[in-house]
C-alpha cells in the first residue's frame, strides 16, 4: 500500500456558522430547546437571524471543525462538501483553505439554493442551541467526489449529519467503497440522536458489514444506537461490532474500546465552560491526530480531551491558541 498524501479526508456539511450570545428568554420566545439542534427552512433562517443579536460568522460544520483542529495540530487534511456560488460559499472556501485544508469541491452553480448556515445561540451557561439550514450542502452529488483523493487519505471521516439527505448519503456510500478499495480506514461520527433515529438500520448495517473502523459517539447517541438505556450495555453491544469505539462523556471524560480493550481519560479541567460548540468535533480532531501521529489509544484520547477543553473555554469552534503547542505542553 502506498503512503497516503492525507492523514484524514472528511466529507461533511459545508456550513457557515453564525453565532451570537442569547438569553433563555429569547430561546423561549422563539420556541427553541436549549442545547438542541434543529433543522430549519429558508424562511425560518431569515426570521431567526433577524431575532439574533450581533453575530460572528465563520466556516463551520462538524467535519470541517474536526479538520480545522487536526490541521492546527499539524495533520494533512482534505475536505469534500457542497457550497453554492454565493457570498457565504466564498467565505466557507476561503476559511477552510486558509487553514491549510485541501478543498476543491466544485460550487453548486445555477441554483437558487444558497450555502448552508447554522444559526447558533449561546446562553450564559455555555450551552449552544443550533438551528441549521442545510441549503446547498444537502445536494452533494457522488459526481463531486474525487475518488483518487479519497484513496490517498489514511482515514475517510464521515459526518453523520450529512447522512440524512439522500444525495450526499449516496455519495458517502460511494466514498466508503473508494476508501475500502484502497485499504484505507473509515471513521464515522454519529452526530446527533435525531440522525440515529432516522437511520439506525443503516448505521447498524454498516457496522455489521465491517464498513466502519472508528466510531465516534457521546453517551446519549450510543444508547440510542443500541436502543438501551444502560450506558455500559450500549458500549458492550456496539464495541463488539468494530475495531475502535470512542465515546465522549462530557465532564466524566471519555472512553475508547479498541480491539476489545477499554481505555479511559478524565475531562481536562477548565475554569469555566463558555461555549460547547464544537466540543465533540475537536475531541475527534485530537483523537484522530494522535492516531495519525502513531500514538497509543490512551494518549489519543488525552489529546481529544485537551482539544475539547480548549474549545469550550471560549466562544466559537476554532481554537484561540496554538493547539499543537498546547497539546505538547499538556502531554509533557
Model confidence pLDDT, tens digit, residues 2-19: 789 999 999 999 999 888
Please report whether residue 55 resides in a domain. Answer: no
Tell whether 159 is covered by a domain: yes
Task: Give the CA distances from residue 246 to residues 51, 202, 253, in Å, rounded to whole numbers and listed in that order.
Answer: 37, 19, 11
When computed from its CA atoms, the radius of gyration of the chain, rounded to whole angstroms, is 18
Question: In total, how many domains does the chain have?
Answer: 1
pLDDT in the model for residue 313: 84
Cβ contact 191:160 at 8 Å? yes
pLDDT of residue 3: 87
* pLDDT score recorded for residue 69: 97
Residue count of the chain, please give it. Answer: 332
**Domain residue limits at 210:** 6-13+62-111+137-331
pTM of the model: 0.91
Distance of CA 259 to CAs 24, 148, 329, Å? 44, 30, 29
Q: Is residue 187 included in any domain, yes or no?
A: yes
Task: Kindly state whether residue 132 falls inside one of the protein's structural domains.
Answer: no
Using 50, 70 and 90 to split pLDDT, how confident is the model at 247? Answer: very high
Structural domain includes residue 76: yes
What is the bridge-based pairing of β-strands 244-248 and 77-80? unpaired
Q: Enter the C-alpha cell of residue 34.
A: 436549549
Average pLDDT over residues 112-128: 90
DSSP H helices in the chain: 24-29, 42-51, 62-72, 87-98, 147-151, 166-181, 193-208, 219-226, 231-239, 279-292, 297-312, 323-331
Report the pLDDT value the prediction gives residue 1, as an integer from 0 to 100.
Answer: 61
223: CB partners within 8 A, 6+ apart:
229, 230, 231, 234
Question: Any residues with CB less than 8 A from the CB of 164 and at least 6 apart, and which?
Answer: 138, 195, 198, 199
d(CA 13, CA 138): 7
99 assigned to some structural domain: yes
In whole numbers, what is the pLDDT of the chain averaged over residues? 93
CA–CA dist 312, 268 (Å, integer) = 11
Asked whether residue 97 is domain-assigned, the answer is yes
- List, for residues 140-185, the tens digit of each pLDDT value: 999 999 999 999 999 999 999 999 889 999 999 999 999 999 999 9
pLDDT at residue number 314 = 78
Inside any domain, residue 38: no
pLDDT for res 74? 97
Give yes or no for residue 315 having a pLDDT over 80.
no
- Taking only the tens place, the pLDDT of each residue in 35-88 is 888 889 989 998 998 999 998 888 889 999 999 999 999 999 999 999 999 988
- Comparison of pLDDT for 267 and 109, the residue scoring more: 267
Q: Is residue 38 within a helix (H) or strand (E), and if so which, with residue range?
A: strand 37-39
Domain of residue 325, CATH code: 3.40.1190.20
Q: What is the mean pLDDT of residues 295-323?
A: 89
Percent of the chain with pLDDT over 90: 79
Amino acid at each position: 500500500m502506498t503512503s497516503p498524501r492525507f492523514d484524514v479526508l472528511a466529507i461533511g456539511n459545508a456550513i457557515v456558522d453564525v453565532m451570537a450570545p442569547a438569553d433563555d428568554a429569547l430561546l423561549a420566545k422563539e420556541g427553541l430547546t436549549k442545547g438542541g439542534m434543529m433543522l430549519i427552512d429558508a424562511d425560518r433562517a431569515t426570521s431567526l437571524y433577524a431575532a439574533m443579536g450581533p453575530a460572528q460568522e465563520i466556516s463551520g460544520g462538524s467535519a470541517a471543525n474536526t479538520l480545522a483542529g487536526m490541521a492546527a495540530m499539524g495533520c494533512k487534511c482534505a475536505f469534500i462538501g457542497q457550497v453554492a456560488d454565493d457570498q457565504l460559499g466564498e467565505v466557507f472556501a476561503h476559511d477552510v483553505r486558509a487553514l491549510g485544508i485541501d478543498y476543491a469541491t466544485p460550487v453548486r452553480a445555477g441554483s437558487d439554493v444558497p450555502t448552508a448556515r447554522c444559526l447558533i445561540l449561546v446562553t450564559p451557561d455555555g450551552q449552544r442551541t443550533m438551528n441549521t439550514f442545510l441549503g446547498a450542502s444537502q445536494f452533494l452529488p457522488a459526481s463531486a467526489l474525487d475518488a483518487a483523493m479519497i484513496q490517498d487519505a489514511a482515514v475517510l471521516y464521515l459526518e453523520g449529519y450529512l447522512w440524512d439527505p439522500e444525495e450526499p448519503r449516496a455519495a458517502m456510500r460511494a466514498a466508503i467503497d473508494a476508501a475500502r478499495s484502497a485499504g484505507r480506514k473509515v471513521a464515522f461520527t454519529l452526530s446527533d440522536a435525531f440522525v440515529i433515529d432516522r437511520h439506525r438500520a443503516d448505521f447498524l448495517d454498516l457496522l455489521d458489514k465491517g464498513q466502519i473502523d472508528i466510531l465516534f459517539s457521546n453517551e446519549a447517541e450510543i444508547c440510542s444506537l443500541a436502543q438501551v438505556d444502560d450506558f455500559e450495555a450500549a458500549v458492550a453491544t456496539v464495541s463488539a461490532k468494530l475495531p475502535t469505539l470512542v465515546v465522549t462523556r462530557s465532564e466524566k471524560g471519555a472512553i475508547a474500546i479498541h480491539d476489545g480493550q477499554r481505555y479511559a481519560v478524565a475531562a481536562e479541567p477548565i475554569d469555566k465552560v463558555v461555549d460547547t460548540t464544537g466540543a465533540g468535533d475537536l475531541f475527534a480532531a485530537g483523537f484522530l491526530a494522535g492516531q495519525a501521529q502513531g500514538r497509543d489509544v490512551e494518549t489519543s484520547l488525552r489529546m481529544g480531551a485537551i482539544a475539547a477543553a480548549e474549545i469550550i473555554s471560549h466562544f466559537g469552534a476554532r481554537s484561540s491558541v496554538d493547539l499543537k503547542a498546547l497539546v505538547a505542553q499538556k502531554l509533557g
